[in-house]
Amino acid sequence: MGGAIRITEVTITPVAFRDPALLNAVGVHEPYALRAIVEVSTDQGLCGLGETYADEDHLRRLRSAAGAIVGMDVHALGAMHQRVAKVLGASTGSDGHGLTGTITADGTVDRVFSPFEVACLDVQGKAAGRPVSDLLGGAVRECVPYSAYLFYKWGSHPGGEPDSWGEALDPQGIVAQARRMVDEYGFQALKLKGGVFPPEQEIAAIRALREEFPDRPLRLDPNAAWSVETSIDVGRRLEGVLEYLEDPTPGIEGMARVAREVPMPLATNMCVVAFEHLAPAVERDAVQVVLSDHHYWGGLHRTKLLSGICQTFGMGLSMHSNSHLGVSLAAMTHLAAATPHLTYACDTHWPWKSEDVVQAGALSFADGSVQVPKGPGLGVELDRDALARLHERYLACGLRTRDDTGYMQRIDPGYERKVPRW
């Protein structure tokens, strides 16, 4: 199939899917997670898929950008990025839920552009009869390892039915959760979302995980809930236990102070979340591992650019996750497969969801890894009935912007969001 493949229509469908009561440094997950499915239709009958956030302001920007890219060739990704930037102007998103750090004007453009780029790559792959990983330089690994993402959690949302995972509010609950993750998915690496309880309790949970799983890499992410002094103390006490410590304290300067005093690498998806953050982070040696995320680094090609920069300056590369569906898992897997420098197991929220918008069979876990889909493009197709059902839920559920803190305060009016908390 030669020549230009022009975009004729862009459809953006917000969806809501059930989410357990997972606790974090700023509150608790609401009963539904919000995502948007992007479909790019073309004049050659091919349709590409992307997935992104569905907060109200982000949807507004997506719709503005969608109108601007109609008529463009799906191969013109550089020009497309420029056109999205022009449409958005100096518009700046916000980290309303407090978990992803400062969002700049350039970072806002990248977040809006990303799902369109993924969808265009899906079209390109379908036209060429090749998987997206081939368009990124070819897979260097056939299976991509992921890590178990452990959360402190309630057994149910207030007033709701208990979920199948049960309560996890102490080290024993976290170990039981990890055991199920390992038994069902085969995860080799384990990550605990911290910043929920005083550091002493979370240290105890990490030590309990080490006792139960003596050979698996462990990670701890308190989402900048600790002061510099607390971070240094915890880091020193967990010497030889953690593979890396993620975002213990706020900001590049704070991370640099901690990095000078603790024995393990520091990782981030909060203080380095856009290209303009890389230079100061390198200058201060604040971060040793960057957690990439194509959803906010501008898509798959720009994440490959990030990988090259990290490799140049001796920084490791891992992958961040937010609550996501199968379109994102497919994109993440193709990207990780084609990125040699991404040597850490990637994060994923996959086990926490019980429904999806893609047809079953293309994505599955074995030994903690996902095999790279072999079909053309992303290798996944929409389940139209499921998409319609989750869109109807979006319309009915009343949630329009993620607000972990507000939800927690409705349950516990005395709850305060503090950074740092300890």
Residue with tokens 């901690």: 258
Q: Token match 């080290």: residue?
A: 171
Residue 261, Cβ neighbours under 10 Å: how many?
13
Please return the burial class of 354, using the count of CB atoms within 10 Å of its CB with bins 0-12, 13-18 and 19+. exposed
Paired strand residues for 147: 189, 347
Residues facing residue 350 across a β-bridge: none
Q: For residues 357 and 81, give the distance between their C-alpha atoms in angstroms, rounded to a whole number.
A: 27
Q: Is the dihedral of CA 278, 318, 209, 180 positive or negative?
A: positive
Residues 6+ apart with CB under 8 A from 205: 170, 171, 174, 175, 192
Q: Rounded CA gap, 137 and 300, in Å?
A: 11
Alpha helix (H) residue ranges in 263-401: 278-284, 294-297, 300-312, 326-337, 384-397
Please list the active-site residues: 193, 320
* Contact by Cβ (8 Å): 88, 395: no
Burial environment of residue 381 by CB neighbours within 10 A (0 to 12, 13 to 18, 19 or more)? middle
Q: What span, in angstroms and rounded, lies between the C-alpha atoms of 352 and 19? A: 7
Strand partners, 408: none
Check: CB of residue 52 under 8 Å from CB of residue 12. no
Identify residue 177 by its one-letter amino acid code: Q
Q: DSSP letters along 401-415, please?
A: S--HHHHHHHH-TT-
- For the record, the structure tokens of 126 come out as 């379908």
